[in-house]
A = this chain, B = another copy of it.
Amino acid sequence: MVDKPFPRGRVIFFVTRNLHKFNEARRLLINYGIATVMLRIKTREIQDDDIENIAETRALDAAGKTNLPVIVEDAGLFVEALEGFPGPYSSYIYRTIGNEGILKLLDKTENRNSQFRSIVAFCDPQNLEKRVRCFIGIVNGRIAEMVRGKSGFGFDPIFEPLKTPNKTFGDMTEDEKNKLSHRSQALRKFAEWYRSI
């Protein structure tokens, strides 16, 4: 008897320990007929200025450890006037200096251009090539002058997308944010591909 490959296009294991991220993904993917299961395992995270390399390594590591078809998601806030900081280390930097730190660094700085980037990396251990497939989502915006709104998490309350001037991600309901966020874009690209294979 040959092992059947995991029924694709129906279930995906999302490797994360962030319940906010998981819920955002679960509610979005169900619209594509994909059920999402949270997989709370620790993965090997490398230091790299490119979040795509970080996500790829994590996806390979998680698929190898679990033998399940997985996605991981890595995101970063890239501030133009700060040479891309906090970038790939957004999570650590949020935990230490937080939103107030970014505002302080941009004090009296006119250029507040910034970008939220998300990478969803997929790996299926049943696939003999064991290649990782990455999907990217990008939102251009600017750093607000102050913390605004209580929704979302991380740097959401200081990020104003260009499409919604004067409204940060923190000012939005989850539905509003999911319509345009970097993460939802990357997840939608993944979902369209995953249900097609």
Contact of A82 among B46, B101, B107 (CB under 8 A): B101
Q: Which one of B47, B88, B105 contacts A46 once the chains associate, using CB atoms below 8 Å?
A: B47
> Is the pair B89, A92 in contact by a Cβ cutoff of 8 Å?
yes
Number of chain A interface residues as a range: 20 to 34
In the complex, what residues of B have CB within 8 A of residue A47's CB? 45-47, 54, 89, 92
Q: Within 8 Å of chain B (Cβ to Cβ): is A87? A: yes
A105 contact from B84, B92, B101, Cβ within 8 A: B101
Measured CA separation A6–B85 after assembly (Å): 43
Chain B residue nearest in CB terms to A85: B96
Complex-state Cα separation, A46 to B101, whole angstroms: 24
Q: In the bound complex, how far is the Cα of B156 from the Cα of A117, in angstroms?
A: 32
The complex places the Cα of A89 from the Cα of B84 at a distance, in Å, of 14
A residues 49-100 near B (Cβ < 8 Å) are 49, 54, 82-85, 87-89, 92-93, 95-97
Residues of B within 8 A of A40 (CB): none
For A101, the chain B residues whose CB sits under 8 A away are: 82, 85, 105
- Which residues from chain A sit less than 8 Å from chain B, CB to CB? 44-49, 54, 82-85, 87-89, 92-93, 95-97, 101, 104-105, 107
Contact sample, A vs B, 22 pairs, CB 8 Å cutoff: A44-B46, A45-B48, A47-B54, A47-B89, A47-B92, A49-B92, A82-B97, A82-B101, A83-B95, A83-B96, A83-B97, A84-B96, A85-B96, A85-B97, A87-B96, A88-B92, A89-B89, A89-B93, A93-B93, A104-B104, A104-B105, A104-B107
Question: Top 3 A-B pairs ranked by shortest CB distance?
Answer: A85-B96, A45-B47, A83-B96
